[in-house]
Amino acid sequence: MPLSRPVYRFNAALVREPSRSVVRGLRAVDQGDPDYDGVAAEHAAYIDALEAAGLAVTVLPPLEAFPDSVFVEDPALVFSAGAILLRPGNATRRGETAQIAPVLRRRFETVLEMSGTGYADGGDILVTPDHVMIGLSARTNAAGAGALGACLTKLGLASKTVTTPPGVLHFKTDCSLIEENCVLVTARLEASGVFEEFETLILPQGEEAAANALRINDVVLVGAQFPRTIEMLDQAGYSVVPLATEQIGRIDAGLSCMSLRWFDETLDG
C-alpha cells in the first residue's frame, strides 16, 4: 500500500559518529584515504543540515572495529511502521547489524530480520510512494531481495526488484527521489528503463556522483562540488542545500548513507 505522507517527510534521524578507523573504509576505486578530520567536519555539517530541515537527530557513538559504520543506512531500514535489520553484502560490515539492532528495538515496536542467507545493503533501497525499489548489485543479491521483500510485506509495503547497472556499487549511487514522481538519475541508470513511471532529471555529464542527493522535507541536500547539478535543481524550483562530500566520497559514500530517517508519530510536527 502507498505511504500516507510524502516519502521524504521526516522528523527523526539516527546517525553515528565516524570512527578514526574510517580512513580504512571500503572503496571500489582507490582515490586515496580520506582525512579523518575532514570526514568529521563533513559529518558535523550533515547533522546541522538535518536539524535545520526539522529532524530530531540522535547521534550514536563511533565503532572503531567497523570503519564503515558511519554509514548507518546500509545495515538497516526504518519506516514509521517499523525497522528491518539487513545483512550487508560485504562480510566486514555484517557485525554492524548487531550493533544497531538494540538501538532500533528501543525505538520501534516492530523490528524484523531477514530470513535465509541472502544479503542486502540499504544503499540499494529506494523508497517511492507506491513501492520500495530493491536494486540487485554486488552488495544485494536475489535471495536477499526476496527476504527483504517479505519483511516489507509484513510492514504493509510493496516492493519491486530491479537491476543496478554493472559497475555501479549501489542502486542509490546513481539515483535519488527528489519529488514524489521525480528521480534525479544518471544517464546510464535512466537508460535501463527502471524509472519509466517517473519523471527524471538526468545529471550533467561529469557530475554523476551527485546522484546520491537527499530530499528531506522542503530541501534537497546535494554535494557542494557539483555546481551544474545544483544549478539544474535550483532552476527546477528546488531549495538546495550544498554540503561538502569530498572526503566521504573517497570511500564510496554519499548523503543518504549517513543517516536513518523516518517520521516518528510520537514527536510533535
What whole-number distance in Å separates Cα of residue 10 and Cα of residue 52? 12
For residue 59, pLDDT beyond 50: yes
Please give the share of the chain, as a percent, with pLDDT higher than 70. Answer: 98
Is there a domain that residue 269 lies in? no
C-alpha cell at 57: 537527530
The verdict on whether residue 5 carries a ligand-binding annotation is no
Is residue 201 within 8 Å of residue 182, measured between CB atoms?
yes
Distance separating alpha carbons of residues 14 and 17, to the nearest angstrom? 10
Answer yes or no: 175 catalytic.
no
Residue 154 has pLDDT above 80, yes or no: yes
Please give the residue that has the higher pLDDT: either 26 or 137: 137
Q: Is residue 4 part of a domain?
A: no
pLDDT reported for residue 28: 74
Instruction: Return the HEC string of the chain.
Output: CCCCCCCCCCCEEEEECCCHHHHHCCCCCCCCCCCHHHHHHHHHHHHHHHHHCCCEEEEECCCCCCCCCCCCCCCEEEECCEEEECCCCCHHHCHHHHHHHHHHHHHCCCEEECCCCCCCCHHHEEECCCCEEEEECCCCCHHHHHHHHHHHHHCCCCEEEEECCCCCCCHHHCEEEEECCEEEECHHHHCCCCCCCCEEEECCCCCHHHHCCEEECCEEEEECCCHHHHHHHHHCCCCEEEECCCCHHHHCCCCHHHCEEECCCCCCC
Residue 1 in domain: no
Residue 97: give its domain's CATH number: 3.75.10.10
| 131 assigned to active site | no
Torsion of the alpha carbons at 52, 124, 3 and 58, rounded to the nearest 10: -30
Cα angle: 44, vertex 53, 233; to 5 degrees: 100
Choice among 151, 170, 175, 182 that is catalytic: 170
| Structural domains counted in the chain | 1
Cell of 152: 516489507
- Whether residue 3 lies inside any domain: the answer is no
| pLDDT 10s digits, 204-255 | 999 999 999 999 999 999 999 999 999 999 999 999 999 999 999 999 888 9
Quick one: pLDDT at residue 30?
76
The answer to the question of whether 139 is labelled as a binding residue is yes
Any known ligand binding at 63? no
Residue 216 lies in a domain: yes
Average pLDDT over residues 5-23: 96
Judge whether 30 is annotated as a binding position. Answer: no
In a domain, 250, yes or no: yes
- What CA–CA distance (Å, rounded) separates 140 from 223? 25
Cross-strand partners of 223: 243
Considering the candidates 43, 131, 175, 257, report the single residue annotated as catalytic: 257
Return the higher-pLDDT residue of 252 and 39. Answer: 39
Range of the domain at 79: 12-262
Residue 7 in any domain: the answer is no
In a domain, 2, yes or no: no
**84 appears as a binding residue in the annotation:** no
